[in-house]
Amino acid sequence: MGGVGKTTLAQLVYNDDRVQRHFQFKAWACVSEDFDVFRVTKSILKSIANDQSNNDDDLNLLQEKLKKQLSGNKFLLVLDDVWNKNYNYWSILSCPFGAGAPGSKIVVTTRNLDAANLTRAYPKYGLKELSDDDCLRVLIQHSLGATGFSTNQSLKDVGEKIAKKCKGLPLAAKTLGGLLRGKDDLTDWEFVLNTDIWNLQEENYGIIPALRVSYHFLPSQLKQCFAYCSLFPKDYEFQEEEIILLWTAEGFLDQEYNGRKMEDLGREFVRELHSRSLFQQSSRDASRFVMHDLINDLARWAAGEIYFRMEDTLAGENRQQFFQTLRHFSYICREYDGKKRLESVCDVEHLRTFLPVNLSDYRRNYLAWSVPHMLLNHLPRLRVFSLCGYCNIFNLPNEIGNLKHLRCLNLSRTRIQILPESINSLYNLHTILLENCWELKKLCKDMGNLTKLRHLRNSDAGLLEEMPKGLGKLTSLLTLGRFVVGKDSGSGLRELKSLTHLQGTLRISKLENVEDVGDACEAQLNNKVNLRTLLLDWSARDVQNLDQCEFETRVLSMLKPHRDVQELTIRGYGGTKFPIWLGDSSFSKLVNLKFGYCRMCTSLPSVGQLPLLKHLKISGMDRVKSVGLEFYGSSCSVPFPSLETLSFSDMREWEEWIPCGAGQEVDEVFPKLRKLSLFNCYKLQGTLPKHSIQKDVNWIHGMAFGYHVPQRVDSTGDHAADELVLVILSKDICLDSGIKSYIAKTLTSFLMPWKGSYLVMLRGNHDNWVLSQAAAQEDDKKKQNEMGLLAITCPTTAAGLFYFAMLYISVPGTSY
């Protein structure tokens, strides 16, 4: 039965701290009715290995990757909402699972006993409906935020009657609780209890009465927004911004209440639908939402004949007949979508929405060349037009200019290269989505007519040559993913001056094309109060002379962002020094700071005064030889007061790290540092700053160390035993017996003060080297056993090379 709590119970188990400690890997995959082995395998691999590659189309290759990740590791896998009864599909999907260690577990949730039998799941737990008392508890929790009616005794009788109407389904109790949330007036509760909606026969509609009641009491604006979600397939996970942009395009958010933007109103609607349990947070990705299958059925019931979602199960060769009342159309993308599948929708001349939906971000989808022409010539009233995910879309027909009512154009994840000039005539356009359009080179030459444009999402368009003319006229623009500085005067930085409403993330690239420092000043980045993330990019190139260095120094000095910026990245900068504003303590909200490949700088910026800086990453600073007082800041009594992670990489000439002023207490430098990572810092010698580690560690030539650092030391002087320490040694090194002994001695002395158990892993190719045996050359077996040093035999190359050594230090009774 749906709505009885199968997924919720699995989520409670999946997120339990004891489960977290028991398994090395966890993964959650929503299977749903469309049992796509490729999609599910990719989803599992992404959860376990954070695999972000989108180019793997070979199922065998994916399964080999997954098998390698699972090999010898204890894992927990949840397969949610399984409907498949095809043994071959299950057999293929489960091939890699046997590589896991004994004790690995797979949890399957399903409404179908045959599907459970197919997976050989044992034991089987059949969830029953809740008792009326339990339903009442769920109702009270979600409506009053309490465990009983102690402060609202007047609601007790009517609450019990409503709970009985839930028929034992926690989903029903939860949605009714969301409906009554914050309402403690008896009249409101009685109104819900006595509504005629309860009397509609469930079998006539297939919708649980309690869910119909929840929909019935939605405000009218929320009703149409909720019904629009019927275009999403079951188990489809969507971003908040995704649905808000669609609602905006359809005019559902046109009324701006109390001066709020449409997007803010949309976020309020999402929160309201979530609070009423009509939207649920995704188990796999907390940034996404999903609708329960029964809620999806409710949305389709509410949508009526105005909406239609074409399922993949419909025969593509059969011509589908549509009512002329149809306004919003979506369909599940197949690998190949042809003319016959979509031509019948062209008969609906008043169609407003054409929305292909991809159930997987990893599958490549192809659309017949004739389809875009056909659609653009027959559907002139479209407000939403999407070709998202079709990898054979290289260009867009000029007929796109026929869609005079168009508000949202989505070409994300296509291979579009040049936008047609006719787009500049779409005066009502609100949104252009070009995310993951890696091959995009040019926008329209002139976009000055698109004065209603609010969103231009082009952050991943790395090949984009320059911005179009007239961008400065788009004063309604809220989001602009990437601004590419061109050599033409029409695409200079001064175009940003009038874009005062920009928010979120802005990336400015090809800053080497700036020809006048005045342009940088005219951009007025310090007036962009809603920008939270700013990336400043200069392309990789050789800075030829000191004049160019000085020019870029002056340019960067003019690109000071607003003090409320939270993340800042500077990459490829060719100046010899950083501007003074960079370490200004007035940047009180700056949390994340990155410097990459600023190869002409001879010293690091003074950023120790930033009060909330938590993450600092520095890489490719080739001319930096020494890190000293200038890094901490001259007038800062507690440098880096909030810093948690510090990373250095590719610092080829870095030789010494001078501690902050003499005589300072340990907790006055990096008081909250938890992770220090150094990679490819070959020339660095000496010791770490005191607080980054409590013992001096001699550097091994050619290696780099990275490790988590405990926040504090306990009263005995030992490291606190509740911290996880990770040591990574990288770089090919010839491990003769002397080097082995030296490494073992260094790591052993490093481990001595720690409590708990240790695990050392070495990875390579051919020869075996066991660290504990090398350690035994320096310490007796008894001391080794007291430390809890566990040996893992791993291969290295025949020449004695090794790549990574990972050291885990954890508390007893836990495992990672």
Token reading at 675: 């992770």
758 Cβ contact list (under 8 Å, min separation 6): 751, 787, 788, 789, 790, 807, 808, 809
Token reading at 69: 């990740």
Mean pLDDT computed over 699-703: 34
Question: Is the pLDDT score of 719 beyond 80?
Answer: no
| Residue 789, pLDDT score | 32
Question: Is the pLDDT score of 302 beyond 50?
Answer: yes
| Residue 511, pLDDT score | 95
Token reading at 178: 């969301």
In 10 A of CB 150, how many CB atoms? 9
Nearest to 398 by CA among 378, 416, 372: 372
| Residue 756, pLDDT score | 41
What is the distance between the alpha carbons of residues 408 and 443, in angstroms, rounded to a whole number? 16
| Residue 661, pLDDT score | 61
* Structural contact between residues 805 and 739, judged by C-beta atoms closer than 8 angstroms: no
Question: Strand 675-679 and strand 704-708: pairing?
Answer: antiparallel
Nearest to 26 by CA among 44, 8, 42: 44
Tell me whether the omega of the peptide bond preceding residue 123 falls within 30 degrees of 0, making it cis: yes
pTM, two decimals, is: 0.76
SS3 198: helix
| Residue 660, pLDDT score | 74
555 Cβ contact list (under 8 Å, min separation 6): 511, 514, 517, 520
Query: Worst-scoring range by mean pLDDT, 191-200, 398-407, 562-571, 791-800?
Result: 791-800
Token reading at 50: 């954070």
Q: What is the dihedral of CA 456, 460, 462, 466, to 10 degrees?
A: 10
Question: Strand 757-763 and strand 804-810: pairing?
Answer: antiparallel
| Residue 675, pLDDT score | 81
| Residue 53, pLDDT score | 58
Higher pLDDT, 603 or 706: 603
Token reading at 53: 């590659």
Buried b (16+ CB within 10 A) or exposed e, 649-674: bbbeebeebebbeeebeeebbbbbbb
| Residue 121, pLDDT score | 75
89 Cβ contact list (under 8 Å, min separation 6): 35, 37
- φ/ψ of 749, rounded to 5, equals -65, -30
Long-range contact list for 425-430, CB < 8 A, 24+ apart?
Answer: 425/401, 425/449, 426/400, 426/401, 426/450, 427/451, 427/452, 428/404, 428/452, 429/453, 430/245, 430/248, 430/249, 430/454, 430/455
Question: pLDDT per residue over 17-36, tens digit each?
Answer: 888 888 888 888 888 777 88
809 strand-pairing partners: 725, 758
First vs last Cα of the chain: how many Å apart?
36
426 Cβ contact list (under 8 Å, min separation 6): 400, 401, 403, 404, 406, 409, 450
| Residue 311, pLDDT score | 81
Question: pLDDT per residue over 88-136, tens digit each?
Answer: 888 888 888 888 889 899 898 887 777 777 777 777 788 788 888 888 8
Q: What value does the mean pLDDT of the chain take?
A: 80
Mean pLDDT computed over 274-303: 88
Mean pLDDT computed over 644-648: 90
* Structural contact between residues 74 and 23, judged by C-beta atoms closer than 8 angstroms: yes
Question: pLDDT per residue over 374-399, tens digit each?
Answer: 999 999 999 999 999 999 999 999 99
SS3 759: strand
Confidence of residue 806 (pLDDT cuts 50, 70, 90): very low
pLDDT above 90 covers what percent of the chain? 40
| Residue 212, pLDDT score | 83
Question: Is the pLDDT score of 509 beyond 90?
Answer: yes
